[in-house]
Structures are given as C-alpha cells and as structure tokens.
C-alpha cells in the first residue's frame, strides 16, 4: 500500500526507533494512550504490549480495514479502540479520556504540527505527556536550545516542558522524507503557568503574536501597536521587567513574556 502524499504519510519501519518511542512514553499501569496516525500499525503493535487501553485515530480510508483485520482480537476485547476520523476533529471526552490521565504518542504529518499542538495543549482535556515524531528543524525550534524563542516554542513552553530526545534519519521511513525527523517529548503538561501567574491565555497569546508580527523590528515597536494596559507605557513595562528596548521578540524568555503580560 503506497503512502498518501496528501496526508503527509511516511511509515516508520525501524524496530529500534519504535521501541525507543514506547520506552520514552513511559506507560504506567492504568494509563490510557492515544495514538495518532497508526498507519499500518507498526507502532500500535509495540504500544499494545504496554498500554492497558489504546485509542488510535486513523484518517486514511484505505488503512482502517487493514487495522481492523490486524488487531481484530484487541478490538473485540476493547483493549484497542479504532477511530476512523481526522485527529483535528477528535474529542477526547467522547472516548472517556480525562485531563492529565492519558498520553499521546504520534508520528504526525508535518503539515498539521502547529494546529495539532494547539488543539491538545490549550484544550480542556490536556494529555499528561506527548511523545511526537516531528520534522527535526521544527523540534529544534520548539526546544530553542540556541536561546532564540519563537511563537511555536513559547506556545509549547507555556503548557509543558519540551525535550529533544533524538534525531531519526529519513532512511528509517518509507517513503523516505526529504528531511530528518526527531523524537520530541513534552511532559508536565498543564495550565499551571496561567493559573499561577493569574494571566489570561487569550491576553498572553495576543501579546506574543503581536511581538512576533514583524521579526526584524525591535519588540517594543511591535507592541506599541497594541492598546496599552492601565495606561502604562511600554517603555516603563520594559524597564520594570529589565528588558532592553532593543530586544527582539525571539530574545525574550517565557518569564519575560509573563512579566510583560501582567
């Protein structure tokens, strides 16, 4: 069965990498696992050895019958629940997945990375952990080890702790993508950052989106386009937060953005 380019399919075929993903997922007794895009079921097979209950979501019409046949016994015993749907339409509540009680394990198509992360990190039914196969450069941008943050990295770090686990060569996929991938772990997922800081999610993201609107401009120039809170000039906010007026959006840490939001 050929991969569908329109769905961004690249099937992982390395037993070693599959085992690494399951190990990193750190599945405990009683854990529920949500797998996204099971494909031909290679990762599904590995997960079933550890997960008490596995929910898999597959969009491709051609693959659903294959998965139904391959995992007939597990479906009958309800150890595996196969959902034929687009993950972006998926409602965890419908499948009795409760906040911070399940893990997501996924080899997701590169083109839905941003919207996928927003859906599950900012939603009301957050997972406790995510183990994702992403494009290598996207994973690196999320962890921002070079000290240069992005709208994507801050959006992830506001909800959890991302960690770059390892690079996965393109040769481990069929068909081989044009770029290497990486395993990214996001753990300690919650809305604690917002609750503890007593700041609104909407207000926070409005601020950082404005900050990154024109990346070459100094951050303060971008923020001047926003209505200032409590009539405090941005110059004063920057001074109080010990942020240089010559800083650009990428130079600020999550804590810096928190201080500007308050």
Quick one: pLDDT at residue 8? 46
Q: What is the pLDDT of residues 230-257, one digit of tens each?
A: 568 899 999 999 999 999 999 999 999 9
Q: What is the mean pLDDT of residues 94-105?
A: 95
Domains of the chain: 5-190 (3.40.50.150), 195-261 (1.10.8.100)
Quick one: pLDDT at residue 154? 97
With cut-offs at 50, 70 and 90, classify the pLDDT of residue 199. very high
Q: What is the mean pLDDT of residues 83-106?
A: 95
- Count of Cβ atoms closer than 10 Å to residue 245 Cβ: 12
> What global pTM score does this model have?
0.91
With cut-offs at 50, 70 and 90, classify the pLDDT of residue 262. confident
Pairing between strand 129-135 and 102-107?
parallel
Residue that is written with structure tokens 């595996």 in the block:
80
């Amino acid at each position: 069965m050929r991969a569908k380019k329109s769905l961004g399919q690249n099937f992982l075929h390395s037993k070693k990498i599959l085992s690494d993903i399951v190990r990193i997922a750190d599945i405990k007794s009683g854990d529920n696992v949500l797998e996204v895009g099971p494909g031909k079921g290679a990762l599904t097979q590995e997960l079933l050895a550890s997960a008490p209950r596995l929910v898999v979501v597959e969009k491709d019409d051609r693959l659903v019958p294959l998965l139904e046949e391959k995992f007939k016994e597990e479906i009958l015993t309800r150890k595996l629940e196969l959902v034929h749907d687009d993950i972006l339409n998926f409602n965890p509540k419908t499948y009795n997945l409760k906040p911070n009680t399940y893990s997501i394990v996924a080899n997701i198509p590169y083109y839905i990375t941003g919207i996928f992360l927003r859906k599950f990190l900012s939603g009301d039914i957050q997972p406790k952990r995510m183990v994702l196969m992403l494009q290598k450069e996207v994973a690196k941008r999320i962890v921002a080890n070079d000290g240069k943050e992005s709208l994507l990295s801050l959006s992830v770090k506001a909800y959890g702790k991302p960690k770059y686990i390892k690079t996965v060569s393109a040769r481990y996929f069929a068909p081989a993508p044009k770029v290497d991938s990486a395993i990214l772990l996001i753990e300690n997922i919650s809305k604690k950052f917002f609750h503890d800081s007593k700041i609104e999610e909407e207000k926070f993201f409005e601020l950082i989106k404005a900050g990154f609107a024109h990346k070459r401009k100094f951050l303060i120039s971008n923020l001047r386009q926003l209505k200032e809170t409590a009539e405090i000039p941005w110059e004063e906010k920057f001074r109080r937060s010990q942020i240089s007026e010559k800083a650009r959006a990428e130079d600020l840490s999550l804590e810096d953005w928190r201080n500007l939001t308050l």
